[in-house]
Structure 1
Amino acid sequence: AFDVFRRFTQRVDERVAVAQELLNSDFDFNREETIVIDPETAAYAKDPQEARDRWRRQIKYALLDLKEQEKDSDDKEEVVDAIDRLKRRYSRYARRWKQTDSDDLLEMYLTAVTMGYDPHSTYMSPGTLDDFQIQMRLNLEGIGAALREKDGNTVVTSVIPGGAADKHGKLKPDDVIISVGQGDEGEMVDIVEMPLQDVVDLIRGNAGTTVRLEVKPGGAGTKVVYKIVRARVELEESAARGEVIDHKMANGASKKIGFIKLPSFYLDMEGARLQKRDFRSSTRDVRRILDDFKAQGVQGVVLDLSKNGGGSLTEAINLTGLFIDRGPVVQVKNSDGTVQQYADEELGTAWDGPLVVLTSKFSASASEIFAGAIRDYKRGIVVGDPATHGKGTVQTLMDIGQQLFRNNRQNFGALKVTLQQFYLPDGESTQRHGVPADIVLPSITQKMDVGEGDLKYALKHDRVEKTRHDMYSMAPDDLISQLRKNSEERVSKDKEFVDLIRRVELYVAQKEQASVSLNEEKFMNRRAELDAQKEDQKEVEDQALGQEEIYRDTFYNREVINIAHEYIDGLEKQKLARAGR
């Protein structure tokens, strides 16, 4: 691994030197030439001259990209500024690789080996394992601030409500952190150009301890030092959250609809193992939300899993149990070919009224177990992209420190290994296929190459025998057909949906182009066409990061609520709906 890495960093230095040299030359932005942007279609350069020409084109592409971002400034100034920014970018790129420590290198090397077998088997370094456990238990000890790297600086992107930094009151978004000190008198460590993970490690620490941050407020002006006492921070924005929507249809009919956003199937594994009374889990939080919905007289529930990439298998089973009264939820096939059933064993439900599950191509793993079980039981309807992500495998986390030193546990990271495949109650695997939606809505995500089938070495799809289970009458075929027809009619007349469909078609056409023009006029015209798509993709990215309200009043979500409203009406007319208990 170290030999390969040394050769890699040698090549990085060589290429960066070429890039810096080329940046000092003149570029003809009126010249007719193209660059291949799809690496899968690019052949290896035949000789050093061809490789150098590719670098020239790559740099020209990057300069045009930066010029497009600064298109309102003076033309000559924007070129000079773009060249300076690119020089700094390439220098930082080389410097960052040289800052790679042995833990990061081991993670990259072992993960490259394991992913040759399937795309979900990885090695987690100690730092990655810590981050994974934080996301599963939804709390950490630190100051409660989200950070990002920008031009070698550490910038505050947000301050977590209720966290130590929030209570301190001084640290704000866009502040630049320059140095970090421990305790009241510890040496201030310069963090400019330091890898972001190393900065995070310096700022995090045990609750009750002090950290000092030297900060430039807003990235400019006089430096100040903030002394913040670390505390336990609850990551509430990553937890299940609910909101009641008073919805009116065009005909004036109104319904109360509960909307739950669930970003992941989280579980405080350590708290559960120690049988702590207050350990955090997605099932516990969703149950609490459903109880609140019932108290408010909600008539139907939408569960948003559209950006939920999965999580705990146990939580997928338990959460499904909130909506069904006992029965098999998932089947798991082991490496020896034996198949086990995992069932909800709890009597009763937390919600037995109308249920709409919102999914997308980003809904994966545990999300697919839940959506698939709801669909197999005909317990509710699935709305969203044509199918979910298509991940039908189960990973086991093997804590290396625990395995090697049971009595003196240390953090040596963990292996996440694919050992099983899961199947829905009716025997169908979600692997590569995903869970199909009953009602499909147009979106850009369905055209993105982000599904399981787009990953290298993804396992094949297969089936097992179906299990016996109860069937609900909450998703009758005739009602689904009518809901689908009504939705398609509304979508075809909605200007925002029509415009979205046009942008999606343009996105597909552009995506299929293996190369783009480096003529400035043609480049800028193409970018103008792509601007609307970039907004669509940015919205997807923001949603995936949780930078949104629980329910966003968008044309897409309004149609989801329209479907839910009609679904409730349809069940009431067929006398199939029961009030949520």
Structure 2
Amino acid sequence: MRIRTGFIGLFLLLAPSAYSLELRSPPVLSPLQNQAEAAQLSAQFLGRYAYKPVPLDDALSAKIMDRYLKALDPDRSFFLKADIDTFMVDRTRIDDAIIGEDLKIPFSIFNVYSQRVVDRMTFARSALKQGFDFSVQEDYPLSREDEPWPQSETQIHDLWRKSVKNDWLRLKLAGQSDATIRNTLDKRYENIQQRVYTYKSDDVFQSFMAAYTTSVDPHTDYFGAAASADFDISMKLSLVGIGAVLQERDGYTTIRELVPGGPAQLSGQLAVGDRIIGVGQDKDGAVKEVVGIRLDEVVQLIRGEKDSVVRLDILPAETAGNGTHRVISLVRDKISLEKQAAKKTILPVEDRGVARKVGVITLPAFYEDFEARRKGDKDYRSASRDVAKLLGELKQENVDGVLIDLRDNGGGSLAEAIDLTGLFIGKGPVVQQRDATGRVEVESDNLSKPAWAGPVGVLINRGSASASEIFAAAIQDYGRGVIIGEPSFGKGTVQTVIDLDQAAHNSTPKFGQLKLTIAQFFRVDGGTTQLRGVTPDISLPGLSDPKTLGEASYDNALPWAKIKPAKYTASGKTAALLPQLQSRHEDRVKNDRDFQRFVEDAAELKAQREKRVISLNETERRNEMTALANRLKAREQADDGFLRSEDDGLQANERSLSADLAIENARKNAKDVLRTEAASIVADEAELLASGRKASVRP
């Protein structure tokens, strides 16, 4: 099987939320027949075609149960031990349930979970009326994932009392009054409680299938219809809609951002903060009220066919809930998601009296419009095509070197990883693949010559995975450039997406898609990035937690392995420069205040992660705040305002939209000390290579 169009990235699916429903008994959700059939069909594919098949037996059944419970209640703060004991009766029966197309077990567990959420939030809201004594010595556990399940209502109430007390104390330390704190938290817990009433059968099934597939392999996954659509959008960087980023706020679908050039922005009829309270189809279709409706459902109503009309009932940002609203009409169009596309900037670097220019290309994902490519569209969108254009522009701007920023790039198209590598190495092998039969295939790029032959740096971190690791590893193995940053994620497997409806010959979508691991990739030097990732040539500090982020954090990750190297020719130029590059890097950063402060922050964050509990004593917490404030104040005086935001105790949807956007913009505009240093390393590389060339031509 040839899998140049395989998927090798990390994709996260976030469940949306909606609020403002009347409190009542949680709905009892039941499995649908098509879901049971989809699970059974998925089991067939997993048993036959997975890279490392895992038998669907009692042992796997137990793992699925454990993963499912952990996904529902990771901190063990909703279920009681008695609940768990009841569930465990069926711990080895899930395999039979899947094979027999009877999914009552996971649905019955979820129904109990929904009731427990209502129970816990009812208690949390009642605790707000009691008040708290912040003078006593008491601790709150920051994580309970490894703790025993609470044995009684008394124990679990004490856990939630401490949780509410901690939430209250955070707001109190931020200067909020008791009345404001009580209102804020009551609304927060009510929102969590009301979310239960928006769950649907598809949500339960998606959660259960995630527990099943990831028990087989960390990167095998199941996509329902909505998740499949979002996956396709993320790969082709386009959709048909109105060009607005939407967010749920207080039960309203709120406009958070207008996409430049989209129908919403061009109409001049919408503004950030406006609320959509109704959606109608076509020029005269009835307008359906959407207040309190799940965000994903509103989004599906707004998306549609290109050139079709959608009508929106708008409550302006400045208008109260019962104020005047208006209905507007927009014509849907194709929207390009440029924020996820490759982009460039030029960083000036001055060192040792020499000014150099480094072109930085930031690539968030290895995207490719597969459908357009299959149709023969000569202008189909892809990461390598976009980067090739940017390299051409940087050449025209006479940059001295290029830095490819792959931080937090979770991967994507395998073909794009190969094509992108070719832009820097030209013709040659890029990656090797071994399938389930043990057959090894070498994947090469056939570009006659590189698009960029100058100095190269690749900036990676723990979030750089899969396709990012293929590219970085090839650049490193060929000696084509210097790899800078943290060790990467360590994902060395290839996935393909199987359309279950196509496999079952369904005329209408019912079953969704299965993302299945079918191969393992290896570097051209024969090693794999699996588990170990790519080790940078020059290390930079990072903020990630390797215990929770990375292949090594999975209990069923494949081991590291090695095969025969491919036939390739490596250059020794970059390797020869590494001692000098390392020395210059160390000399530079030891006197760089911004860099050293980043090192301090990374160390502080690591220390915070290692704390198991937090004090609920107000005096102790204020002393901690004072110490932090003094440290930040000293920084501010030292470097003209290098600030860090303080904890306001609020969640994102509890701040005003303007405050949220201000925080987001501050983060975007914050100094990127790692990118700055990486660019300096590339500038050093350019200088040393130029010096070497001059020396080689001397008589």
TM-score, normalization by structure 2: 0.76
C-alpha change, 1:311 and 1:62, in structure 2 (3 Å) is: same
C-alpha change, 1:403 and 1:67, in structure 2 (3 Å) is: farther
C-alpha change, 1:433 and 1:471, in structure 2 (3 Å) is: same
- Does residue 321 (structure 1) correspond to residue 422 (structure 2)? The answer is yes
User: CA offsets per residue over residues 296-317 of structure 1, 9 Å max, x none?
Assistant: 2222111111121100111111
Q: 1:48 is aligned with what amino acid?
A: E
CA shift, 1:229, in A, is: 1.6
- Does residue 490 (structure 1) correspond to residue 592 (structure 2)? The answer is no
Worse-matched range after superposition: 185-194 or 442-451? 442-451
Worse-matched range after superposition: 269-278 or 468-477? 468-477
1:395 paired residue number? 495
1:565 paired residue number? 683
User: CA offsets per residue over residues 360-411 of structure 1, 9 Å max, x none?
Assistant: 11111100000001000101111112x01111111111112222227x3636
1:235 paired residue number? 337
CA distance in 1, matches of 2:215, 2:541: 34
1:201 paired residue number? 300
- Does residue 280 (structure 1) correspond to residue 381 (structure 2)? The answer is yes
1:518 paired residue number? 616
Q: Residues 33-48 of structure 1 correspond to what in structure 2 (within 5 A)?
A: 33-48=138-153
Task: Indicate if the aligned counterparts of 1:444 and 1:537 stay in contact, CA closer than 8 A.
Answer: no
CA shift, 1:446, in A, is: 6.2
CA shift, 1:551, in A, is: 9.9
Unmatched runs of 5 consecutive residues or more in structure 1: none
The match for 1:469 among 551, 568, 579 is 568
User: CA offsets per residue over residues 150-192 of structure 1, 9 Å max, x none?
Assistant: 3333222211111111211232223333332223333333323
Report percent identity of matched pairs.
36
C-alpha change, 1:547 and 1:402, in structure 2 (3 Å) is: farther
SS class of match (2:215): coil
CA shift, 1:203, in A, is: 1.4
CA shift, 1:549, in A, is: 11
CA shift, 1:329, in A, is: 0.8
User: CA offsets per residue over residues 480-522 of structure 1, 9 Å max, x none?
Assistant: 1111111112111111122221222221111111111111232
CA shift, 1:248, in A, is: 4.0
Runs of 4+ in 1 over 4 A off after TM superposition: 527-538, 545-553
C-alpha change, 1:549 and 1:152, in structure 2 (3 Å) is: closer
CA distance in 1, matches of 2:346, 2:419: 23
Q: 1:347 is aligned with what amino acid?
A: S
Worse-matched range after superposition: 182-191 or 214-223? 214-223
CA shift, 1:524, in A, is: 4.1
SS class of match (1:181): strand
- Does residue 100 (structure 1) correspond to residue 199 (structure 2)? The answer is yes
Task: Indicate if the aligned counterparts of 1:442 and 1:497 stay in contact, CA closer than 8 A.
Answer: no
2:54 paired residue number? none
C-alpha change, 1:528 and 1:141, in structure 2 (3 Å) is: farther
C-alpha change, 1:248 and 1:460, in structure 2 (3 Å) is: closer
1:458 paired residue number? 557
- Does residue 52 (structure 1) correspond to residue 52 (structure 2)? The answer is no
CA distance in 2, matches of 1:72, 1:180: 40
Q: Residues 78-97 of structure 1 correspond to what in structure 2 (within 5 A)?
A: 78-97=177-196
CA shift, 1:243, in A, is: 2.5
SS class of match (1:509): helix
2:26 paired residue number? none
Worse-matched range after superposition: 146-155 or 565-574? 146-155
User: CA offsets per residue over residues 103-139 of structure 1, 9 Å max, x none?
Assistant: 2222111111111122211111110110110110111
C-alpha change, 1:21 and 1:577, in structure 2 (3 Å) is: farther
2:57 paired residue number? none
Unmatched runs of 5 consecutive residues or more in structure 2: 1-105, 633-642, 653-659
What is the number of equivalent residue pairs in this alignment?
565
SS class of match (1:225): strand
Task: Indicate if the aligned counterparts of 2:170 and 2:647 stay in contact, CA closer than 8 A.
Answer: no
User: CA offsets per residue over residues 433-483 of structure 1, 9 Å max, x none?
Assistant: 110111112232366732221234222222222222111244133x11111
CA shift, 1:27, in A, is: 1.4
The match for 1:10 among 107, 115, 123 is 115
1:30 paired residue number? 135
- Does residue 64 (structure 1) correspond to residue 169 (structure 2)? The answer is yes
CA shift, 1:227, in A, is: 2.3
C-alpha change, 1:560 and 1:185, in structure 2 (3 Å) is: same
Q: 2:526 is aligned with what amino acid?
A: G
- Does residue 187 (structure 1) correspond to residue 305 (structure 2)? The answer is no
CA distance in 1, matches of 2:419, 2:113: 47
Q: 1:399 is aligned with what amino acid?
A: D
CA distance in 2, matches of 1:548, 1:517: 30
- Does residue 249 (structure 1) correspond to residue 347 (structure 2)? The answer is no
Q: What RMSD in Å do the two structures reach over aligned CA positions?
A: 2.8
Q: 1:574 is aligned with what amino acid?
A: G
SS class of match (1:422): strand
CA shift, 1:577, in A, is: 12
CA distance in 1, matches of 2:466, 2:677: 26
CA distance in 2, matches of 1:119, 1:525: 42
Q: 2:593 is aligned with what amino acid?
A: K
C-alpha change, 1:33 and 1:57, in structure 2 (3 Å) is: same
SS class of match (1:39): coil
Q: 1:279 is aligned with what amino acid?
A: Y
CA shift, 1:550, in A, is: 10
C-alpha change, 1:398 and 1:67, in structure 2 (3 Å) is: farther
C-alpha change, 1:530 and 1:553, in structure 2 (3 Å) is: closer
Task: Indicate if the aligned counterparts of 2:245 and 2:257 stay in contact, CA closer than 8 A.
Answer: yes
CA shift, 1:547, in A, is: 7.2
